[in-house]
Amino acid sequence: MSQFKNLLKGLTAGLILLVTACSSGEKADSIYFNGSIYTVDTSNPQVEAVAVKGGMIMAVGSKSEIMKLQGDETEMVDLKGQTMTPGFIESHAHMMGVGYNKLELDLMYVKTYDELVEKVAEAVAKAQPGDWITGRGWHQDKWIEKPDVMVKGFQTHDKLSAVSPDNPVWLRHASGHAAFGNAKAMELAGVNNLSIESLQGKVEGGEIIKDDLGNPTGVFTERAAGIISRLVPQETEERAEQALDLAIQECLRLGITSFHDAGSGQDYVDRLLRFKEQGRLKIRTYTMLTGTSQALLEDWAKKGPMIDPDHQVTVRAFKLHTDGALGSRGAWLLEEYSDRPGHFGHETVPMERVGEVALMALESGFQLCSHAIGDRANQEVLDQYEMAFDKNPDIDRKAQRFRIEHAQHLSLDDIARFGEMNIIAAMQAIHMSSDRPWAIDRLGERRIVEGAYVWQKLMEAGAVVCNGTDAPVEPLDPLPSFYASIARKTLEGLPEGGYEADQAMTRAQALKSYTLDGAYAEFEEDFKGSIEVGKAADFTVFDKNIMTIPEMEILKTKATMTVVGGEIVFRGE
């Protein structure tokens, strides 16, 4: 009965608006028609045409109805049989990282250590002696061939140092939770087999990987990476603007209309505001302020959130980073790693700090987003959230929409808590596709089956699951993540039937996770995220119907049009 009422309500609202528009003589600025249009509105899931006026959705319905709103100046957008959805929302990624990835060595697609070394050698040939060679994207667990020498699951620096004796090299892991340097970089930082212990004591929450003789291998995990990264020359504002421009264009090319930046500082916010003023922003942004700066959070807590009436630059969240990643064995676990006995990962920020920031967020009107991958990190963060809520009984905890970023591996006992406290699980389905083949070595089958990438269990518990890529950890393209959501397979289509297939999303759920649930995660579900009358005209058009084609065809699909606020900001082939 309730579904019938919702359907009737949706049809009535659309009809009223259409009649009002027609009777007033008001005409649409643009009309989209002749395609498969999925609205993510349960009362009206598919329509034939959409009318836009002033950047907002004016009417939705049948083609014959919507054509009544055509005027002499109306732009008619023929979808030519393609598929239109609400604009895709990237709910967790790193804007500047996406841009900088295009300005330095991109190691995301490197398949072997030798290939990585070759790319560095090419960069060295073009550099001046002493110039830093930087890059990101390598992931040893994804290499098709392992190096002959590995220490604690990582390669050693010998080959890298051989091709770059005079240039310091610093290459960040795809996860962002480790980095790899050559001998020259370590020399400049004073890292050697005699200095490691004293340096290690200064980087609690990280590790300098060393061999059996005590020699540094070149790999630095978590906070230990700061020993060398602090020496890398600071970026100029000119280069930062170039990176932001490249990132924006990449978003639009891939059909992304809104972007949640998972941890940036004041300089990034100022840059966004400058781009908006200059008309260069083109997409909608939601910024989480990085918790690496206590002063930054305290300053914003005093003045409160910045909620943009134009919905382009909103700053309404704090971001904390509480553990590492599975790839670097830095994710904080309740039980030891299956492939490294006695090792439990790292707490990268004291839990007392999480509680303090949670209280500060509640008092100042900010959302709190905490990175947590391992089951212990998730449990401890949930405990701190609950403590903060309990100390503020007059605040509606469900209205706060606190988030856990990744929520990748959970204890069975903690899954229900997401729904009970309305904690948003900001997950990246593509991580399941990329990590699951080797993650079982880290966790073992029991922990994988019970609590890893458990999208359905979370949704059944009442939690909202929003989707993304964590770019540049993974490519920014949302379609591989959409594919992983429904297939639970690698990008090669393995295994048959998928990993833990009972946790796969339906296509409707996957689309919602990338649109309306993403909007909910930033308090914008009444403004965008579905194709409904009165919402923003943010659309993504794909060359294939991602809601009906075979799973593997999704990976061959491309965005052909991106629309933000009624403006077509990207047209592909």
Q: Tell me the pLDDT tens digit for each residue of 398-434.
A: 899 999 999 999 999 999 999 999 999 999 999 999 9
- For residue 13, pLDDT over 50 is answered with no
Would you place residue 103 in the very low, low, confident or very high pLDDT band (cuts 50, 70, 90)? confident
pLDDT (0 to 100) of residue 511: 98
The residues of the chain that CATH labels 3.20.20.140 are 322-505
pLDDT (0 to 100) of residue 133: 95
Which segment, 223-227, 230-234, 253-257, 344-348, is predicted with the most confidence on average?
A: 253-257
pLDDT (0 to 100) of residue 2: 43
Q: Is 296 exposed, middle or buried (0-12, 13-18, 19+ CB in 10 A)?
A: middle
10 Å Cβ neighbour count for 4? Answer: 9
pLDDT (0 to 100) of residue 201: 56
10 Å Cβ neighbour count for 533? Answer: 21
The residues of the chain that CATH labels 2.30.40.10 are 1-81+534-573
10 Å Cβ neighbour count for 399? Answer: 8
The residues of the chain that CATH labels 3.10.310.70 are 95-229
Helical H segments across 373-477, by residue range: 375-390, 397-400, 412-421, 429-451, 455-460
Q: Mean pLDDT check: name the lowest of 65-74, 191-200, 324-333, 542-551.
A: 191-200
Q: Tell me the pLDDT tens digit for each residue of 164-187.
A: 999 999 999 988 889 999 999 999
What is 1-81+534-573's CATH topology? Urease, subunit C; domain 1 (2.30.40)
Residues 139-165, mean pLDDT to the nearest whole number: 94
Residues 199-217, mean pLDDT to the nearest whole number: 83
Pick the residue with more confidence: 5 or 511?
511
Round to whole Å and give the CA distance between 428 and 423.
16
Query: What are the b/e assignments for 464-492, b being 16+ CB within 10 Å?
Result: bbbbbbbbbbbbbbbbbbbbbbbbbbbee
The helix (H) or strand (E) run that includes residue 539 is strand 539-542
Q: Mean pLDDT check: name the lowest of 21-30, 103-112, 483-492, 513-522.
A: 21-30
Architecture of domain 95-229: Roll (3.10)
Residues 389-405, mean pLDDT to the nearest whole number: 95
10 Å Cβ neighbour count for 82? Answer: 18
- For residue 14, pLDDT over 90 is answered with no
pLDDT (0 to 100) of residue 79: 98
pLDDT (0 to 100) of residue 203: 67
Architecture of domain 322-505: Alpha-Beta Barrel (3.20)
Percentage of residues of the chain with pLDDT beyond 70: 95
What value, to the nearest 5°, has the Cα angle with vertex 376 and ends 372 and 377? 25
Residues 308-313, mean pLDDT to the nearest whole number: 98
Rounded to 5 degrees, what are φ and ψ at 296? Answer: -60, -50
Tokens of 435: 């990590």
pTM of the model: 0.85
Percentage of residues of the chain with pLDDT beyond 90: 88
pLDDT (0 to 100) of residue 530: 98
Residues 27-37, mean pLDDT to the nearest whole number: 98
Q: Minimal CA–CA distance to 94: which of 169, 174, 170?
A: 174
Amino acid at 88: F
Residues 267-278, mean pLDDT to the nearest whole number: 98
- For residue 1, pLDDT over 50 is answered with no
Would you place residue 573 in the very low, low, confident or very high pLDDT band (cuts 50, 70, 90)? confident
Amino acid at 134: T
- For residue 285, pLDDT over 70 is answered with yes
**What is the pLDDT of the chain when averaged over all its residues?**
93
pLDDT (0 to 100) of residue 245: 97
Round to whole Å and give the CA distance between 77 and 79.
6
Would you place residue 142 in the very low, low, confident or very high pLDDT band (cuts 50, 70, 90)? confident
Would you place residue 462 in the very low, low, confident or very high pLDDT band (cuts 50, 70, 90)? very high
Would you place residue 25 in the very low, low, confident or very high pLDDT band (cuts 50, 70, 90)? confident
- For residue 451, pLDDT over 70 is answered with yes
Would you place residue 5 in the very low, low, confident or very high pLDDT band (cuts 50, 70, 90)? very low
pLDDT (0 to 100) of residue 234: 84
pLDDT (0 to 100) of residue 204: 72
pLDDT (0 to 100) of residue 113: 97
DSSP state letter for 224: G
pLDDT (0 to 100) of residue 202: 60
DSSP per position, 99-141: HHTTTSEE-TT--BHHHHHHHHHHHHHHSPTT--EEEEEE-GG
Would you place residue 109 in the very low, low, confident or very high pLDDT band (cuts 50, 70, 90)? confident
- For residue 248, pLDDT over 90 is answered with yes
Pick the residue with more confidence: 562 or 193?
562
- For residue 279, pLDDT over 90 is answered with yes
DSSP state letter for 312: S
